[in-house]
Amino acid sequence: MKKWSEKKEFDEMFEWGLNQIVALAGFLLLAAALGLNAMKKMKRYSVEYNGLNLVGSVLLLYYAFVLGDVVFQLVFGVWTIVGFGFLLKRLVDKDMTHEISDLDVDSRNWKFK
């Protein structure tokens, strides 16, 4: 009986570790997108940037469901929907420059161009 108990504890521990790895991967993807954008290595409206955000948010949405945390489910659920919508629109309309140029902000004057 004790062997079964030890195996069950090991399985639970492995599951917990796997969930933590998924959450860490999601966080690292979001942090990478943010960092690369801040260093001007990746544009905010690029497929790559939004792809990192989408995959990261999906991983963290999964983790929020594992935790049963409704607030984080809402946050990452909205993040996932918005990211998916943007990527879908970006892939369908490859030339979004007309929309992107309207959103560029001159940071010195904080006025829209």
The structural domains of the chain, with segments of one domain joined by +, span 2-112
Question: How many C-beta atoms surround the C-beta of residue 65 within 10 A?
Answer: 14
* pLDDT value for 113: 47
Low-confidence residues in the chain, pLDDT < 50 = 1, 101-103, 112-113
64: left (phi > 0), else alpha (psi -120 to 50), else beta? alpha
Q: Report pLDDT for 26.
A: 97
3-state secondary structure of 5: helix
pTM of the model: 0.70
Provide the pLDDT for residue 37: 93
